Structure 1
Amino acid sequence: MASRPRTHRLRRALLTALATGAVALPVSGAARPAAVPAPVPAALAPLAAATPTALGTRYAATRDEIRAARQAAVDHGDGRRAESLRAMAASGRHFLAFDGRDGGRTAEVFGDLSGATRIAVLVPGAGVDLDHYWRLKRDAEALTDELGGGSAVIAWLGYRTPATVSPQAVTPGVADQAAPQLTSFVRELGTTLPDARISLLCHSYGSVVCARGASGLDVADLVLYGSPGTSAGSAAGLGTSATVWAGRGSGDWIAHVPHLRLDLGFTSVGFGTDPVSPEFGAEVFDAGDAGHSDYLRRGSVSLRDIARIVAGTEDGRA
């Protein structure tokens, strides 16, 4: 019987060491590059209807904002950012929102939103910004193709994600700031498309963001994958009427992160109960051999099962 308290103490000590290193010490690679200047975007009126005409007007307005941000990047001498924005401003790309400041904020539509009866909103984790947006775009395109007609996918980069190796990636402060933005976006989407089935797909630190806003979101599914935890002890603790799903691939290193939550007084470190554990109480889906960054890899088991959840046809369990 004495071994269990000792194991708990060892795990707690490990998390304490992680907390100390993350919060109190400089972390190699954690620093963000200097901000690339971008103009303040014009305020957009709420989208009253998801008609082709209304959406076309919105897409044209955001394209103008992207082009203005690209010019600012050119003037600043940042060729990498300018090239990323040049690709985003292409005529075949469709953005509901864009802000080029502070790492960037976007909401890009894949598929035909005006005719969609099923909508997936992708919420990314750490390390995604305008310079690394291609990762989120790749995932959105793969899911769109897997879902087929009648569906739309929205890549929502609506917050300044934490650096992958940083104090912010193991504490909830960024998620607390991001959750109201996510809630506002999804509510507007639901108002505009009241008959659509909306699912939130929350990867890694994005699952912390989704969890923070879960109680205020009217969605069908909350899908957590590659999650370090949610800071909630259980799916019921999220306070949502959505079906809560969780999956983790056998190749995902996140499985080795201690699933504890340590209160330091001025913040907490770690996100508590493992979402794929029985005690959390989520519906666990089969994520196959997915690594941390390839849950939506084309041809993967995890992509297949996540698409079935979005479509409302998933009836199997891992």
Structure 2
Amino acid sequence: MRTVHRRTVATLMAMAAVATTAAVPGRPEPYAAPGAVPALSGASSLAARFAAAEREIRRAYADAARAEDRGRVKALSGLLAPGRRFLSFDARGHGRAVEVLGDLARADRVAVVVPGADGLLTNFDSWKWAGGGARSLRQEAGRVAPGTRLAVVAWLGYDSPSTRSPAVLTDGRAADAARELNRFVTGVHRVNGRAGVALLCHSYGSVVCGKAAPELARRRLPVDEVALYGSPGVAAPTAAAMKSRARVWAGRSSGDWTRFVPKVRIAGIGLGHDPVAPSFGALRFDAGSGPHSAYLRPGSRSLGNLTLIALGRDAQVK
């Protein structure tokens, strides 16, 4: 067994203890399970998926109003704005939502934003998380590459752990999420077999993408870029060990607290190796100096580089 400094062990155990004591018991679930949706089997399936998801959002909005859940009412009202299109939606728990920006069936490039911990329906539209971040990315792409057919997916397609729960210290949620992500990318490929796919994986989302990468490669899905940013650690010791056919990028801003997280895994606690370490072998990109939640902030250096990665413009990434 690898020797690990006692201070690292103590730090991990302390983090686990804090997370356990901070966990809040769940309240009774006021929202119903979503109904069955048609599979992503081709471009013709998109309209049916969009319609099914809209029905679920409207039903959840009515449930939230009856439950006087003001935060959900406000958030779901935004999701029902004209022109928004969702491939799936589940109001249970913290919520799941997968939104498409752009023409998924005709895109030349598809970027999938995979968020980290604390992803909620109530913060979905903030640029710090999936929906708002995806919108920032698409706007930046329109600025730097006008006319490029890029579809951006905000993929809150898994049960994002809370940073106040012990789940964030293990990769259990990531293993389940990786299976969901593989199914989703398979569906995207059925809808559009020509587009190259970039996975943009923030924080705990990088753990998800690291878990998903080997199966994506085995299925020979067209994922050609994987960006791991603000990562607390991934299971693979090197980029090559991820067994990905994609170019693997890594970045961490100088103001990101994850630089202090021990990059080890002991007795199931901890998330693994640091993708920005030189020994990992990822392509590095400049992520600027912002905090952990600011990688997709409009005007930021990190957003500029992540947009170039999403577009497949590797030579322009700094």
User: Normalising by the residue count of structure 1, what TM-score does the alignment of the two structures yield?
Assistant: 0.89
Deviation, 1:30, is: 3.2
User: Which residue does the alignment assign to 1:45?
Assistant: 38
Which whole-Å CA distance do the structure 2 matches of 1:276 and 1:108 have between them? 29
Shift of 1:47: 2.5
Q: Which residue of 2 aligns with 1:4?
A: none
Aligned partner letter, 1:140 = A
1:25 shift after superposition: 5.7
Aligned mates of 1:202, 1:25 — CA distance in 2: 26
1:253-285 per-residue CA deviation (whole Å, 9 max, x = no partner) reads 1111122221x2xxx122222111110000111
- Quick one: which of 218, 226, 233 aligns to 1:229? 233
**1:146 matched to 2:140:** yes
**Which residues of 2 match residues 95-244 of structure 1 at below 5 A?**
95-135=86-126, 136-148=130-142, 149-217=148-216, 218=221, 219-244=223-248
Classify the secondary structure of the residue corresponding to 2:207: helix
Q: 1:22 to 1:43 in 2, by over 3 A?
A: same
- Separation in structure 2 between the aligned mates of residue 104 and residue 202 of structure 1, nearest angstrom: 19
Q: 1:316 to 1:32 in 2, by over 3 A?
A: farther
Give, in angstroms, the shift of residue 127 of structure 1: 0.6
- In 1, are the aligned partners of 2:43 and 2:191 still within 8 Å (CA)? yes
Q: 1:32 to 1:223 in 2, by over 3 A?
A: farther
- Partners in 2 of 1:70 and 1:209 — Cα distance? 29
Offset, 1:296: 1.0
Shift of 1:167: 1.4
Identical-pair percentage: 42
Following TM superposition, by how much is the alpha carbon of 1:79 offset from its aligned partner in structure 2, in angstroms?
1.6
Residue 49 of structure 1 and its aligned partner are, at CA, apart by: 2.3
The TM-score normalised by the length of structure 2 is 0.89
Question: Which residue number in structure 2 is paired with residue 3 of structure 1?
Answer: none
CA–CA distance in 1 between the matches of 2:154 and 2:246?
Answer: 20
* Gaps in structure 2 of 5+ consecutive residues: 143-147
Alignment RMSD, CA only? 2.0
Distance of 1:102 and 1:282 partners within structure 2: 35
Change (3 A) 1:303 1:70: same
For 2:294, the equivalent position in structure 1 comes to 294
Following superposition, the deviation at residue 132 of structure 1 comes to 2.0
Alignment deviations for residues 184-216 of structure 1 (CA, whole Å, 9 cap, x no partner): 011111121110010111000111111111111
Which position in structure 1 is the counterpart of 2:46?
55
* Structure 1 counterpart of 2:250: 246
Aligned length: 304
Aligned partner of residue 315 in structure 1, secondary structure: helix
Secondary structure of 1:211's partner? helix
13, 25, 36: which one pairs with 2:6?
13
Shift in Å at residue 80 of structure 1? 1.2
Shift of 1:294: 0.7
Q: CA deviation at 1:317?
A: 6.3
Does the C-alpha gap of structure 1 residues 83 and 122 become closer, same or farther in structure 2, counting only changes over 3 Å? same
Deviation >6 Å, runs of 4+ = none
